[in-house]
């Protein structure tokens, strides 16, 4: 397969997660992604461990699992952009790039002469993607924004976790940095749509992505629940605000998920469980009725599900088309035969460790698999290659930059 973005070059000046996630997605789709990192330290997440990768002899390396999760497919170039020589290298790279991704504070790169307006003069077709916590405008635009804070301010934590009056109740963040991940994905969509627009106009643009905007947008049905009703949704544990039964239940040996999405599934669910009478009860006959009477129905369901082991229930419900399944930890998830079949776990060649484990991109082109051609890079692994080949710097020029601490 010819990679969809094999004609695209990305200058990734971001760190942590949202920007790198966008860069990795573009790299998976075939773009050449040049990651700019600080000399010596690199991306902050290289040190966010344990766990850390170990080399062929079992010695711990300087690269954390966190860094490895978001930087596949990139070329690492070390560059001190606080020095004029480093700024000039960025300008030269931007001049031959299609997309630039950055997540500095508002105005951070402008102070170095590397803001959108300055680089637009060098490359009018550049798509300049800025990622911040709160956006380029507004009363909070100058504040730093991290995923945990944004999950709280954007509403995620008000609807995640057990009810306040139950054991373990209270606000909870989602178990991964979802505001960052979703912002990375929205940034990818924005960059690709800007590329399509550039084909019509020949001009690039400045993309303004804010974690807070993305988080509020991603509350989806819960946001509309509030906007339509005027009542802010509350934490409900594993229950669903609009569908019943749709939550976790204890079987005889472990918890299972039951996700009844319509009235027909409910009939099959209770009939398979030997409680067909519940489908005929007007309190439970429709989803609207079940939502109104959830406090009555849920204990009844919990009582009969406790009578048999999880595997029996799952097999029985799957036979009649009722969505049901186990609650896996990640070890169990990667062992699931469907996940194994789909190849979500993979290994890529690595210069220090031999191989490094990775999670495959979920984007699939039927009969045309993505080509994962490069593992997450070691710090500065491609500095000489990129500056030498792309910018045609000779050994003497590279040595001069290195001696000055620029690369």
Model confidence pLDDT, tens digit, residues 277-328: 999 999 999 999 999 999 999 999 999 999 999 999 999 999 999 999 999 9
CA distances from 350 to 37, 55, 65, 286, 377 (A): 19, 9, 14, 55, 8
Domain count, the chain: 2
Given pLDDT bands bounded at 50, 70 and 90, which one contains residue 2? confident
- So what's the pLDDT on residue 373? 84
Domain with 251, as residue range(s), is 246-326
Distance from C-alpha of 261 to C-alpha of 244, rounded to nearest angstrom: 8
Q: What does the pLDDT average to over 28-50? A: 97
Active site residues: 180
50 and 132 in one domain?
Answer: yes
Residues 197 and 289 in one domain: no
**Mean pLDDT, all residues of the chain:** 96
Q: What token pair was written down for 150?
A: 């944004």
Q: Which of 280, 298, 326 is the last residue of a domain?
A: 326
> Is 228 part of a structural domain of the chain?
no
- Asked if residue 233 lies in contact with residue 158, where contact means CB atoms within 8 angstroms, the answer is yes
Total-model pTM: 0.94
Q: What is the CATH number of the domain that holds 349?
A: 3.40.50.10540
For residue 123, give every residue at least 6 positions away whose Cβ sits within 8 Å of its Cβ, in sequence order, or none.
Answer: 94, 95, 96, 97, 204
Same domain flag for 80 and 152: yes
The candidate with the shortest Cα–Cα distance to 218, out of 182, 243, 175, is 182
What's the CATH code of the domain at 295? 3.30.1540.10
264: phi then psi, degrees, rounded to nearest 5: -65, -40
Decide if 225 is inside a domain: no
Q: Is residue 156 part of a domain?
A: yes
pLDDT at 184 over 80: yes
3-state secondary structure of 126: coil
Residues 15 and 116 in one domain: yes
Q: Are strands 205-210 and 127-132 parallel, antiparallel or unpaired?
A: parallel
Q: Residue 376 domain-assigned?
A: yes
Q: How far apart are CA 107 and CA 333, in angstroms?
A: 43
Give backbone dihedrals phi and psi of 93, rounded to 5 degrees, phi first.
-70, -40
194 with 258, same domain: the answer is no
Residue 259 lies in a domain: yes
Token look-up 């792309």 returns: 390
User: Residues 239-259, buried b or exposed e (16+ Cβ, 10 A)?
Assistant: bbeebbbbbebebeeeebebb
Mark whether 73 and 143 lie in a shared domain: yes
Q: Does a structural domain hold residue 336? A: no
What's the DSSP call for residue 104?
P
* Residues 159 and 219 sit within 8 Å (Cβ to Cβ): yes
| Whether residues 315 and 252 fall in one domain | yes
Given a cut of 70, whether residue 336 has pLDDT beyond it is yes
Residue 237 domain-assigned (yes or no): no
Q: Residue 274: pLDDT band by 50, 70, 90 thresholds?
A: very high
* Token pair 């934490």 in the structure block, residue: 235
Q: Tens of pLDDT along 53-73? A: 999 899 999 999 999 999 999
| Confidence at residue 1, expressed as pLDDT on a 0 to 100 scale | 63
If asked whether residues 24 and 103 sit together in one domain, one would say: yes
**Mean pLDDT across 4-28:** 97
Model pLDDT for residues 129-154, shown as the tens digit of each residue? 999 999 999 999 999 999 999 999 99
């Amino acid at each position: 397969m010819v990679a969809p973005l094999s004609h695209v070059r990305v200058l990734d000046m971001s760190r942590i997660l949202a920007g790198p996630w966008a860069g990795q997605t573009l790299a998976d789709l075939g773009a050449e992604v040049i990651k700019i990192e600080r000399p010596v330290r690199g991306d902050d997440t290289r040190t966010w461990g344990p766990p850390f990768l170990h080399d062929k002899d079992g010695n711990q390396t300087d690269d954390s699992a966190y860094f490895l999760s978001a930087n596949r497919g990139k070329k690492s170039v070390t560059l001190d952009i606080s020095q004029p020589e480093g700024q000039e290298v960025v300008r030269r790279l931007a001049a031959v790039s299609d997309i630039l991704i950055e997540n500095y504070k508002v105005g951070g790169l402008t102070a170095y002469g590397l803001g959108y307006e300055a680089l637009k003069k060098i490359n009018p077709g550049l798509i300049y993607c800025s990622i911040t916590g709160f956006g380029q405008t507004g009363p909070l635009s100058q504040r730093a924004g991290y995923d945990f804070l944004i999950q709280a301010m954007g509403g995620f934590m008000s609807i995640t976790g057990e009810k306040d009056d139950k054991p373990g109740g209270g606000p909870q963040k989602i178990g991964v940095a979802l505001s960052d991940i979703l912002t990375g994905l929205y940034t990818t969509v924005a960059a690709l749509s800007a590329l399509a627009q550039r084909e019509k106009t020949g001009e690039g643009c400045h993309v303004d992505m804010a974690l807070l905007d993305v988080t509020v947008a991603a509350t989806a049905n819960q946001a509309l629940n509030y906007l339509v009703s005027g009542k802010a949704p509350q934490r409900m544990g594993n229950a669903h605000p609009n569908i019943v039964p749709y939550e976790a239940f204890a079987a005889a040996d472990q918890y299972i998920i039951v996700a009844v999405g319509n009235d027909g599934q409910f009939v099959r669910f209770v009939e398979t469980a030997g409680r067909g009478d519940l489908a005929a009860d007007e309190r439970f006959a429709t989803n609207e009725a079940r939502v109104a009477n959830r406090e009555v129905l849920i204990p009844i369901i919990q009582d009969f599900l406790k009578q048999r082991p999880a595997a029996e229930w799952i097999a029985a419900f799957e036979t009649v088309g009722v969505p049901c399944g186990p609650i896996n930890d990640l070890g169990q998830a990667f062992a699931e035969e469907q996940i194994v079949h789909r190849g979500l776990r993979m290994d890529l060649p690595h210069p220090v460790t031999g191989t490094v484990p990775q999670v495959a991109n979920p984007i699939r082109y039927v009969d045309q698999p993505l080509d994962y051609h490069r593992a997450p890079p070691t710090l500065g692994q491609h500095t000489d290659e990129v500056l030498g080949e792309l910018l045609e710097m000779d050994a003497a020029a590279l040595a001069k930059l290195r001696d000055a601490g620029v690369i």
